[in-house]
Amino acid sequence: MKWRIYLSLLLLVLNLFLALWVRRLDEKQFYYLFIASDGYWSIFVQNIYPRLFTEYARLGGAFFIDKLLLLSWRVHWLSLIGVVWVYLSSLLPPSSYKVIPYQAGILCVRCFVLLAAWHSMDWFWLLSAASDWVAFYQPIGILKWLNVPFPSFFFLGVCFFLFYFFLLFLFLFPAHFWWAVLSVVSWVILQGWLYSFGKLDHTFAPFTMVSFCIPFVSYELYRARFQKETIPLEIYRYIALAVVLPYFLSGLEKLSVSGFSWADGSTLAFYLRLHGQAWGIWLAEHWFLCLLFSLATLFFQLSSLLVLFFPFWRYVFVVLGVFFHLSTYIFMGVGGWVSPWLLDYVFLFLKPYPKNN
C-alpha cells in the first residue's frame, strides 16, 4: 500500500517540475521542440495528438503552451486524489476489506463481450465505405507506431471475423486471460482504423478504458476458478474509475480553462446557439435556466468520483448521467436517446460485500 502513496507523491513532485518548465517555455522554444524537431518529444506528442501541425498553424504556440500548463495542473489534481484515496484505503482494518463475488466477475466479462459486439455492429460497413477515402488515411496510436496500412476489404472481413470469434470464446470462457487480451487488442485496432481519417471521437472512451481492465478480471477469475467464491475488490475500483474518470476530467477541464465563470450560463448559451437545435435555441434565451443547467453539469461531473468512495452514490450518478446525456441530445443534438456512455453504467453494479461475511 505504501508504494502507491510514494508513487502518487513522486508524480506530484515530477509534475511540479513539469509545470515550472512549461512556465519558462516561450513560443520559439515550443516551435523548435515540438514542430520543427524530429526528436523524441516531437514524435511522442504527434503520436498522442496527430492534428498538432494543423492546429498549430491555426492557433499558434501560445495556445498550446497554455494547454500544457492546464494539463500539468490536471495531473496535479489526479495525483493528489490518488494520494488521498490510497491513504484512506490504508486506514481500513483488514476485516473490512471487500471482495467481488465470482459470478459478478463472470457477468462483468460477459457484459463487456455483449457491449463490444453491440458498439461495433456497424463498424464493418463504415470501414468498408471508408476504403474509398484511403487517400485521407492517417493512422493514429499503435497503428502509426507500427506503420499499419488501411486494410483491404478481404483483410477487414478477416479481422472482424477474428474479433467476433475472440468475443464468442471469451463469452463462453470468461476466465481465459488470452481470449480477453485478444478481444481487447482487436477492439483497440478496429477503433483505431475507424478514427484514422482526421476525426477523433470520444464516443467509446469510457468503454475502451473499461476494456483494459477486462484481462485482469479474467486473470483473477482464472486464479479463483477452483474456489469460485470471490475476486479482489481492486478490480471493481479500477472498472468504476474507468467509467467515471472521463466525466471528472471533463469537469476539471472546464474549471481549468475558465474557472467557475464557466457556470455563469453564458458559455452554455453560446454552445446551444452554435448547435442550432430548436429546443437549444429556446433554452439559450433563458439565462436563469442556462445557469441552472451549467451548475448541474459541473456538479455531476466533479462529483462523479464519489462513486469510488460511497456505493450509494452510484444511484445518484446514474440518475444524473441519464439526465445529462438526454439533455445534450435534446438541446444540442449530441449523441442519441441512448448514449453509449450510459450503457457502461452496468459495470458500476458489481456489488462488493465484506470479506468476513
Residue 164: which of 183, 180, 144 has the closest Cα? 183
pLDDT value, residue 98: 56
Which domain, by its residues, includes 232?
96-354
* CA–CA distance, 14 with 7 (Å, rounded to integer): 10
| Cα 296 to the center of its chain, rounded Å | 21
29/101 same-domain check: no
* CA–CA distance, 343 with 128 (Å, rounded to integer): 26
114/205 same-domain check: yes
144/235 same-domain check: yes
> Is the pLDDT higher at 253 or at 192?
192
CA 184, 188, 189, 193 torsion-angle sign: positive
pLDDT at 219 over 90: no
Query: Residue 221 — very low, low, confident or very high, per pLDDT cuts 50/70/90?
Result: confident
Return the beta strands (E) in 182-287 as ranges: 230-232
101/86 same-domain check: no
Q: Which three cell numbers stand for residue 70?
A: 492546464
**Domain end call among 91, 119, 138:** 91
pLDDT value, residue 48: 65
pLDDT value, residue 164: 94
82/223 same-domain check: no
225/257 same-domain check: yes
* CA–CA distance, 312 with 25 (Å, rounded to integer): 45
Q: Which three cell numbers stand for residue 6?
A: 510514494
254/112 same-domain check: yes
pLDDT value, residue 97: 46
Q: Which among 14-23, 137-146, 252-261 has the top mean pLDDT?
A: 137-146
pLDDT at 186 over 90: yes
48/147 same-domain check: no
17/143 same-domain check: no
46/142 same-domain check: no
pLDDT value, residue 50: 64
pLDDT value, residue 92: 55
Q: How many domains does the chain have?
A: 2
Query: Residue 223 — very low, low, confident or very high, per pLDDT cuts 50/70/90?
Result: confident
Q: How many helices (H) and strands (E) does the chain have?
A: 18, 3
**Domain end call among 91, 116, 151:** 91
* CA–CA distance, 6 with 19 (Å, rounded to integer): 20
pLDDT value, residue 158: 92
Q: Which three cell numbers stand for residue 215?
A: 484481462
**Domain end call among 68, 91, 114:** 91
C-beta of residue 157 within 8 angstroms of C-beta of residue 124? yes
Identify the weakest region by mean pLDDT among 56-60, 236-240, 326-330, 341-345.
56-60
236/334 same-domain check: yes
pTM of the model: 0.75
Query: Residue 96 — very low, low, confident or very high, per pLDDT cuts 50/70/90?
Result: very low
Query: Residue 90 — very low, low, confident or very high, per pLDDT cuts 50/70/90?
Result: low
pLDDT value, residue 264: 79
| Model pLDDT for residues 250-264, shown as the tens digit of each residue | 887 777 666 677 777
* Beta partners for residue 100, in sequence order: 231
C-beta of residue 11 within 8 angstroms of C-beta of residue 65? no
> Is the pLDDT higher at 56 or at 185?
185
179/286 same-domain check: yes
* CA–CA distance, 190 with 211 (Å, rounded to integer): 14
| Cα 233 to the center of its chain, rounded Å | 21
- Percent of the chain with pLDDT strictly greater than 70: 78
pLDDT value, residue 349: 82
- What is the CB-side half-sphere exposure of residue 253 using CA atoms within 13 A? 8
Q: How many residues does the chain have?
A: 357
| Model pLDDT for residues 77-89, shown as the tens digit of each residue | 666 776 676 666 6
pLDDT value, residue 95: 42
Q: Which residues contact 149 (CB under 8 A, 6 or more apart)?
A: 137, 139
